Structure 1
Amino acid sequence: MASTLPSRRSFLALSGLTALSVSLTAACGSGGSDGGAADGKVSLAWWNIATTEPGRSLFPEISAAFTAARPDVVIKTTSLENEAFKSKLTATTSSGRLPDVFQTWGGGVLRQQVDAGLVEDLTDVLDWSSRLTPVSLEAYRFDGRTYAVPYDIGMVGFWYNKRLFARAGITAPPATWAGFLEAVGKLKAAGVTPIALAGKEKWPGHYYWAYLAMRVAGLPALRQAAATGDFTGPGFVRAGEHLKELADLRPFQTGFLGAGYSTPGGQAATMGNGKAAMELMGQWGPSVQQDAGAGLGADLGFFPFPTVDGGAGRVTEVFGGGNGFALRKGAPKEALDFLRFFVLDNQSKLLASGGYLPVVKGAESGLTDPDRRLVADSLVRATGFQLFLDQAYPPAVGQEVNDSVADLIAGRKTPREVTASITEAAKSA
């Protein structure tokens, strides 16, 4: 495709994109698109997962604003629900041709696409990455190179009911695992269900083992295990032993093994209706609690996953995930122009929608919701980041983590059997 720099120079001068566009031309080449429109405009295929609010309304608004400022670009949008998106992207990946701009959560799937040579390396053209919070980029970096741009980031922590804590005589959230187990005991003694858990869906349970592995073995050990496929080290076994300590206290609501997450009577409803004191969940927790139940209002609090005495991890090392966009190998230079516009020029709109957390440095100061501000401030202070294990690893390995941890919680596997099963899946991946 011929360069369109002259026709858009005024817009680029205003937005600071001229040098960026020239750099991406060199990196991607001048002919990476599926083809221009008949009128000579650049056509971008954009796949996203904005099928619910606020994205369902906001994403088309952002796209329309970009094309209004850039009449040389046409954006063809495909919006799909998460699972439908994953299935369609898998099929497209197999064909060797990805959309120009596509949703990614980073981790194992993105790494496979990168290794197949299907994704653009943005490292040398992303000269505005210094404006983004370091933790927001972690999931999209491999071997020191950056392959996607984040537009949302979040973390998992404990959402808790302050009123139920007070009933049990707990005056402050626990900071250590020993203190956490003690708090569970106090809640049970006060007749309060300590923890809500969606045992049927498995993924919420893996949060416990993952965080304990971070706190006991440490982030370097997790990264080493991912590289070697060996999760049998003593730190991972001890993580399972600590989780078994918790499960043996029977802290979860009655029927948790058959409970869903956002379903009636499930984890979020149990928490939102004040029938459990805690849930370990991401930044979306409060909104789902309110949708599924009554919501806790001012009684809701948040605290990070505790440290483990003698463990290698720190409380400022967080576990979570976010949303980003990657570019296919050879995407037209206008694709990165669009990402810059989406992330930098529309950060305030993304935050105001209530559905996303900031990735731009300093933007957290604009958050007025106290729950979202708690999470955002924790992310700003973060000294390390681990992506959800069922996203960080190849799909088969992530599924084995979920399955094996669920079996541990249910008493069907030992801590050592969990590590052996995950290792077997990793060696086979």
Structure 2
Amino acid sequence: MSYTGYLIYQGKMSYILSIFIATLGAVIGITVSYLIGNRFGYNLILKYGKYIHFGPERYNKTAKWFDHHGNKLLVFAFFIPGIRHFTGYFSGISRLPFKIFARNAYIGAFLWSITFVTLGKVLGPQWEKFHHSASKYLGIGIVGLLSFIVILFMLRRYKTSLKYFLNNYITSFSTRFFLSLKRIEIFIICLAVLFLSMLIFTLGLSEQYLHNEFKELNEVSIYIINELFGDNWNFIMKGLLVLQIPLILLIISMVSLILLFVNKRNLILEFLFFITSIVGGVIFKEVITHVFHYLKPNTGSLLHFEFPNEQSYMSIVVYGYFVFVLMRHLKNDIFTRIKLITPILVLFLLILIGVANIYFSIQIPSDLIAGYTFGAAWLFLNLLLLEILRLIQQYKTFPNKRAI
């Protein structure tokens, strides 16, 4: 379909007509599959379902869930290779009302068509070089973007109920979460999972880097960002870059340190891990930089070696530790909503800082991603050890008390 966009760029086809025909074809295809599933699918379940442990009872539960929640996946299913070919059949088999099916599936067909036709048009003369890679990465990005849009829609639709839930449950829960040893143990498990996830991700990135597998990702990412953000974004991007300069990171680190001293609990332990997270993070970064430079000596001078990138590495360590301090130590109800929204805002901010680096061609995407990933792994390791030692200390001091 992106090739159609390339032909549009050459002036051989109409943009609007191409999108219409592509959408129409997708609509016809998924409608036919829905009708087939609706007409024949249930009888097959009744006759053969028991042999694959999917009898009428389990089918009814699945159909009920799909009717209430799964039908929304129809909007995204077109962007997922292998999945889009079966959603129509399953919608029919589950007896999803045609009106609901058509609404979600046809919206998905239109978004899928306009996305990849437009992609080919945007790539233009670079289509032959980038179309396969761009389709893959853009598909992932579109699914993420559409998920974000759906979340915003749900927030607006259930604004009143969400506000009530936030005020009566989440607020109370977040202010008292760290007062229970059991909940702290759950928090430690979450940190362990995050650390292991980042560790696995860093190993994967390292292997790809050593085998020179980032060229495709870098070229596609740079091209798309340059196409999406023009000269009118210059001022905003410069402002984002300011947030990663050493002075700003130093200020954020000092604010975190001040909050630790204000808290006054486990001060020696907290200060020790503040040093290991921030200062130790700098040392760890230098060590892994030398290791990768040793493994790939043909990459040039060590002075200009940027895998993983230092700015993105230190940004996620400093900002991440700041978020941890806010979440862990601000127990006043006044700060509760700030605590809830800060992690999301900081994550979004770090992504934008990365985009700004690519926008000005300061760093390449793979180095930035590596910086964020290695930084996150180091941060989660330190936070995990901190919470384990804090818990051990708590058990020794107050074996029958709540957490502090």
- Normalising by the smaller structure, the TM-score range is under 0.3
| Length-normalised TM-score, structure 1 | 0.23
Which of the two has greater helix per residue?
A: 2
- Structure with the bigger RCO (C-alpha within 8 Å, sep 6+) is 1
Larger radius of gyration: 2
